[in-house]
């Protein structure tokens, strides 16, 4: 069967983006390697660069491998780009409105509005690209080009569970790796900082890593933990913004990033954050509940 043009174009686009990620990987690696002899880097900045180095390396290798698989019409590459498209679509369509509605910090430059629009447009474009890839690589004609079926992508696992599993697995690993940064953690009406926050990130990162791996293996226990964890996250967000004092709590979190946002920002700020959080928690929850049969079918196959 002749390879559809869209697959080749997508493979080229993925390959170019992956090469860019690998170029950043090399650039950051050189900065970390050469900085001690020229311009010392603060420990926290060095750690952040190290995390970024790992992410760019992983994304570059993942994308390059996927692009080669797409050129060769390997079905695992189609599943790979579908997983990546889910990440890209969700992050893009939620980050774009956040950027547009985000209030300007007190010391914002005169062109802040223009920069914000440009960044939002870039996020939106990537989000639309992710959604388009989801549509294109789920089309019957595209699936037939790879010799694949929609019902079972890998061992009877629904594609939605694959995307959620990889999302949680990668998020968990990132959480553990970034724990030394001591990023603040919200706990209902409290904000945890310092080494307590680092321990919290390690614990939750390890949990999400286990859950993500378990979902990829259709482990029913992992599904239950994922539903409980995502429900806890939804309750955490609801309480955080519902009780008085959310402005001060948010300022405490943002101060760690030196963002310049203060406690006197407009009341629309919670809406800007709650909407993408609601989507990011609600969509995986819905699929985990709706795809219960896939986990039950696995148990039946094991018993047989």
- For 7-53, what is each residue's pLDDT tens digit? 889 999 889 888 888 887 788 777 767 665 555 655 656 666 666 67
Is the confidence at residue 122, as pLDDT, over 70?
yes
CB atoms within 10 A of CB 5: 8
- Contact between 197 and 185 under an 8 Å Cβ cutoff? The reply is yes
**What mean pLDDT comes out for the span 194-216?**
90
Looking at per-residue confidence, does 120 or 231 come out higher?
Answer: 231
**What mean pLDDT comes out for the span 245-264?**
62
Is the confidence at residue 209, as pLDDT, over 90?
yes
CB-based burial of residue 156 (10 Å sphere; 0-12 exposed, 13-18 middle, 19+ buried)?
Answer: middle
Q: What pLDDT, on the 0 to 100 scale, is given for residue 25? A: 79
Percent of the chain with pLDDT over 90: 10
Q: What pLDDT, on the 0 to 100 scale, is given for residue 36? A: 57
Helix (H) or strand (E) holding 192: strand 190-192
If phi > 0 it is left, if psi is from -120 to 50 it is alpha, else beta; for residue 139 that is beta
Q: What pLDDT, on the 0 to 100 scale, is given for residue 263? A: 43
Q: What pLDDT, on the 0 to 100 scale, is given for residue 221? A: 92
Q: What pLDDT, on the 0 to 100 scale, is given for residue 150? A: 45
Q: What pLDDT, on the 0 to 100 scale, is given for residue 265? A: 47
- Reported confidence tier of residue 262, pLDDT bands at 50, 70, 90: very low
For 115, how many CA atoms within 13 A lie in the half-sphere containing its CB?
8
Give the range with max mean pLDDT: 58-62, 66-70, 166-170, 294-298.
Answer: 66-70
**What mean pLDDT comes out for the span 176-205?**
84
**What mean pLDDT comes out for the span 186-203?**
86
Q: What pLDDT, on the 0 to 100 scale, is given for residue 261? A: 47
Q: What pLDDT, on the 0 to 100 scale, is given for residue 269? A: 53
- Reported confidence tier of residue 212, pLDDT bands at 50, 70, 90: very high
- Reported confidence tier of residue 227, pLDDT bands at 50, 70, 90: very high
Across 78-82, 86-90, 146-150, 179-183, least confident range:
146-150
- Please choose, from the candidates 55, 31, 56, 34, the residue with its C-alpha nearest in 3D space to the C-alpha of residue 45: 31
């Amino acid at each position: 069967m002749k390879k559809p043009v869209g697959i080749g174009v997508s493979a080229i686009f993925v390959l170019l983006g992956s090469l860019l990620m690998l170029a950043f990987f090399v650039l950051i690696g050189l900065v970390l390697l050469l900085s001690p002899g020229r311009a010392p880097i603060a420990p926290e900045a060095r750690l952040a660069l190290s995390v970024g180095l790992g992410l760019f390396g992983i994304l570059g290798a993942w994308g390059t491998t996927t692009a080669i698989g797409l050129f060769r019409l390997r079905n695992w590459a189609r599943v790979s780009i579908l997983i990546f498209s889910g990440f890209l679509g969700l992050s893009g369509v939620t980050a774009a409105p956040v950027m547009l509605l985000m209030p300007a910090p007190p010391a914002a430059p005169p062109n802040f509005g223009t920069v914000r629009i440009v960044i939002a447009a870039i996020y939106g474009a990537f989000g639309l690209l992710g959604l388009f890839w989801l549509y294109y690589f789920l089309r019957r004609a595209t699936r037939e080009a790879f010799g694949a079926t929609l019902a079972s992508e890998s061992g009877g696992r629904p594609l939605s569970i694959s995307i959620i599993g990889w999302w949680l697995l990668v998020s968990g690993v990132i959480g553990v790796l970034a724990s030394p940064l001591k990023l603040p953690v919200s706990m209902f009406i409290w904000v945890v900082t310092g080494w307590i926050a680092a321990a919290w990130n390690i614990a939750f990162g390890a949990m999400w890593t286990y859950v993500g791996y378990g979902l990829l293996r259709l482990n029913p226990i992992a599904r239950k933990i994922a539903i409980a964890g995502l429900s806890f996250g939804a309750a955490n967000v609801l309480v955080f913004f519902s009780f008085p004092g959310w402005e001060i709590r948010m300022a405490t979190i943002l101060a760690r990033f030196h963002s310049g946002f203060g406690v006197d920002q407009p009341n629309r700020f919670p809406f800007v954050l709650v909407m993408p959080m609601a989507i990011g928690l609600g969509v995986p929850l819905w699929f985990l509940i709706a795809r219960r049969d896939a986990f039950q079918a696995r148990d039946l196959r094991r018993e047989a």
